[in-house]
Amino acid sequence: MKKLIIALLLISSVNSFAQITAPHGIFTGCKPASFTLIGPTGYDRYEWSNGATSRQIEYIMDGSSGAILDTATVGLTCYDANNVAYVQQPVVLRSIKEPELLSNFNGKYDYSINDSIKSQLVLTYQSSAPQYVFTFIQTDAKGKGSNPISRCVSNTRWCNLSNATPALKNGKFYYVTVHARVDNVNYCKGNYSIIGLGIKSKDDHDGHGDNDGNGDSDDHNNDLVGSSNPIEISTYPNPSYKDCRIIVDSDDKSPMDISIYNIEGKLIYREAFESFPVNQEVSNYFNNPGTYKMVITQNGKVKTSSIERL
């Protein structure tokens, strides 16, 4: 949570007013935001517009209303020993929620360079319409000392992938974040999404081939049940730097056992499933870079797949 400390009045004079300078006379934080508001010294009693009575208060904008941009005008009245009221200049607070890609544009791996992705909405405040800054980081480069970063700045909620600079690369997965830029000030990024660009079918003898063109890893060569291939495996992103999710489906609805072995052949994960498709996050089991082997057993059938950890 971001915290801003704002002194309403730093001068001890009982009738001084706050001199606050900020765009539109506002203070902005990322949601949820906590603002520390401090009244002037020299008074016997304080009454804030939210009902607080102490000289210093914490004003929290937690976004519980669901709006992506919140604003609040906070006033303060101070009283001296004779109960004379001094109304102070109010402060306007603004809290911007971190936008994310809309869910129907997240987790897709068959984008072409001419496709577009869309952000959640950030509301306009007064005359300041937000810009949307999309940031792309290759999943196979993050954390390896070289992080090729591309950005797309849009005046709408849409980013055409061809507008990202430097240009995005076909055959790559990307972590995508979005943040608002208001009055040329950048605010917080939302949770990242993952997309794949131009992932096409290819031969891959190491078990990372994408045979169905959907941008994930499909391994059918090790299926011992012949050409019927009732077990379908998707692993994304693969290779993986941080997050890794497996999706397994089967025409056979009998119980399934999924095991993962590390590079030393040691079992690090095993779980039985009775409902399908299986949708499981497994990144916490990968402690070291290398190639991990996943073994799926169902009704006497065995299928294997490889997962590469960067």
Domains, in order of start, for the chain? 2-97 (2.60.40.3010), 103-197 (2.60.40), 226-309 (2.60.40.1930)
List residues bridging with 292 in a β-sheet: 307
Per-residue pLDDT, 147: 63
73: helix, strand or coil: strand
> pLDDT tens for residues 115-139?
999 998 877 766 678 899 999 988 8
44: buried, middle or exposed (CB in 10 Å: 19+, 13-18, 0-12)?
A: exposed
Cα distance between residue 173 and residue 162, in whole Å: 15
Q: Write the DSSP assignment of 183-204 as a string of letters.
A: TTEEEEE---EEEEES------
CA nearest to 86, candidates 98, 76, 74? 76
Per-residue pLDDT, 47: 94
| 128 Cβ neighbours under 8 A, 6+ residues apart | 23, 24, 182, 183
**Both tokens assigned to 151:** 């950005």
Overall average pLDDT of the 30-34 stretch: 71
Predicted TM-score (pTM) of this structure: 0.50
CA 141 to chain centre: 18
Overall average pLDDT of the 207-211 stretch: 38
Per-residue pLDDT, 271: 92
Overall average pLDDT of the 260-287 stretch: 87
| 133 Cβ neighbours under 8 A, 6+ residues apart | 151, 152, 153, 154, 178, 179, 180, 181, 186
